[in-house]
């Protein structure tokens, strides 16, 4: 049975972890999504994922929160894709970089599928 939870242990929250991610991580982007990844952390048992949406593009907190919910939901439902791409002990931060609000979860999933497909080439 697949684990569709997003527990506290998988959330990227600590400032020191985020700073390390921005300092040493690798950026990837395609279309409306961007992510930064730091793989194979020795002291980490599982993936840690954070999400971020720019206040520059989305002035209203309602819109930013909606996009963050969609990004978290994408991760929750597709953990296996993230683990397959980056291993089981990576820190990942997901960003939405378009000025357009995503229509639904399927559009967010398609953006990440395109990103992962472009990464394999």
Rounded to whole angstroms, the Cα distance separating 10 from 107 reads 24
Check whether 121 has a pLDDT greater than 90. Answer: no
pLDDT for 108: 95
Rounded to whole angstroms, the Cα distance separating 111 from 79 reads 15
The answer to whether 36 touches 92, Cβ cutoff 8 Å, is: yes
Please write the tens of the pLDDT for every residue from 28-73: 999 999 999 999 877 778 899 999 999 999 999 999 999 999 999 9
Q: Sorting pLDDT into bands at 50, 70 and 90, what band is 102?
A: very high
């Amino acid at each position: 049975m697949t684990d569709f939870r997003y527990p506290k242990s998988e959330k990227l929250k600590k400032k020191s972890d985020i700073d390390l991610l921005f300092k040493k991580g690798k950026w990837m982007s395609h279309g409306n999504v961007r992510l930064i990844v730091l793989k194979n952390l020795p002291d980490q048992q599982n993936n840690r994922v954070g999400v971020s949406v720019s206040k520059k593009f989305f002035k209203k907190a309602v819109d930013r929160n909606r996009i963050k919910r969609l990004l978290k939901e994408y991760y929750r439902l597709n953990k296996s894709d993230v683990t397959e791409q980056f291993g089981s002990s990576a820190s990942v931060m997901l960003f939405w970089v378009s000025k357009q609000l995503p229509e639904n979860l399927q559009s967010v999933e398609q953006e990440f599928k395109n990103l992962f497909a472009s990464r394999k080439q």
